[in-house]
Amino acid sequence: MPEPAVPPVPPTPPVALAALLSRDDLGLRQITGPPAADVTIHGAHTSEMSDPYPYLLGGELLLTAGVHVPDAAGAGAAYFDDYVARIVAAGGAALGFGVAPVHDTVPEALVAACEAYGLPLLEVPPRTTFSGVARAVWQLMARARMAELRRISEAQQGLAAAASRPDPVPSVLRRLAGRLEGRAVLYGPEGTEIAAAGREPGEEVRRALAELARFVTGRASSTATDTVAGTRLTAYALGSGRDFVLGVAAPHRESGDHTIASVAAVLLSLLTGEQQSGTGAARSSALVRLLLGARREEVAPLLGGGEGDGAVTRWYVVHARPDTGTPDAVSASALGAALGSPLVDAADDVVRVLVPAGRQPETGTAPVDGATGWTLGVSAPVAPAEWPTADAQAARALARARALRAPLVRHAERPAFADLVPAGEAEAHARALLAPIGAVPALAETLRAWLSLHGSWDRTAVALSVHRNTVRQRVARCAALLEADLDDPDVRMELWFALRHL
Per-residue pLDDT tens for 157-166? 888 888 877 7
Burial class of residue 359 in the structure, from the number of CB atoms within 10 Å of its CB (0-12 exposed, 13-18 middle, 19+ buried): middle
- Domain 164-277: CATH superfamily is Dynein light chain 2a, cytoplasmic (3.30.450.30)
In this predicted structure, what is the pLDDT of residue 256?
Answer: 81
> Distance (Å, rounded) from C-alpha 317 to C-alpha 388?
9
Please name the residues in contact with 451: beta carbons below 8 A apart, sequence gap of 6 or more: 492, 495, 496, 499
Confidence of residue 416 (pLDDT cuts 50, 70, 90): low
In this predicted structure, what is the pLDDT of residue 362?
Answer: 33
Per-residue pLDDT tens for 111-143? 999 999 999 999 999 999 999 999 999 999 888
In this predicted structure, what is the pLDDT of residue 29?
Answer: 96
Would the pTM of this model clear 0.75, i.e. be above it? Answer: no
Q: What percent of the chain has pLDDT over 70?
A: 84
Task: Beginning with the edge strand found earlier in the chain, give each strand of the sheet holding 193-198 in spatial order.
Answer: 193-198, 183-187, 244-250, 231-238, 223-228
Give the count of beta carbons closer than 10 Å to the beta carbon of residue 294: 13
Give the count of beta carbons closer than 10 Å to the beta carbon of residue 215: 18
> Distance (Å, rounded) from C-alpha 240 to C-alpha 223?
13
In this predicted structure, what is the pLDDT of residue 167?
Answer: 75
Confidence of residue 219 (pLDDT cuts 50, 70, 90): low
> Distance (Å, rounded) from C-alpha 459 to C-alpha 457?
6
Burial class of residue 129 in the structure, from the number of CB atoms within 10 Å of its CB (0-12 exposed, 13-18 middle, 19+ buried): middle
Span 425-441, average pLDDT:
86
Confidence of residue 476 (pLDDT cuts 50, 70, 90): very high
> Distance (Å, rounded) from C-alpha 37 to C-alpha 20?
10
In this predicted structure, what is the pLDDT of residue 411?
Answer: 85
In this predicted structure, what is the pLDDT of residue 1?
Answer: 42
Confidence of residue 193 (pLDDT cuts 50, 70, 90): confident
Q: Which is nearest to 279 in space by CA: 239, 310, 314? A: 239
In this predicted structure, what is the pLDDT of residue 153?
Answer: 87
> Distance (Å, rounded) from C-alpha 411 to C-alpha 114?
74
In this predicted structure, what is the pLDDT of residue 474?
Answer: 92
In this predicted structure, what is the pLDDT of residue 44?
Answer: 94
Rounded (10°) angle between helices 168-180 and 130-163: 160
Span 352-360, average pLDDT:
75
Identify the CATH assignment for 15-140 out of 3.40.190.170, 3.40.50.2300, 3.30.565.10, 3.40.1390.20: 3.40.1390.20
Is the domain 420-501 a CATH 3.90.550.10 member?
A: no
Cβ–Cβ under 8 Å, residues 134 and 62: no
Span 242-251, average pLDDT:
85
Per-residue pLDDT tens for 87-115? 999 999 999 999 988 899 999 999 999 99
> Distance (Å, rounded) from C-alpha 445 to C-alpha 261?
48
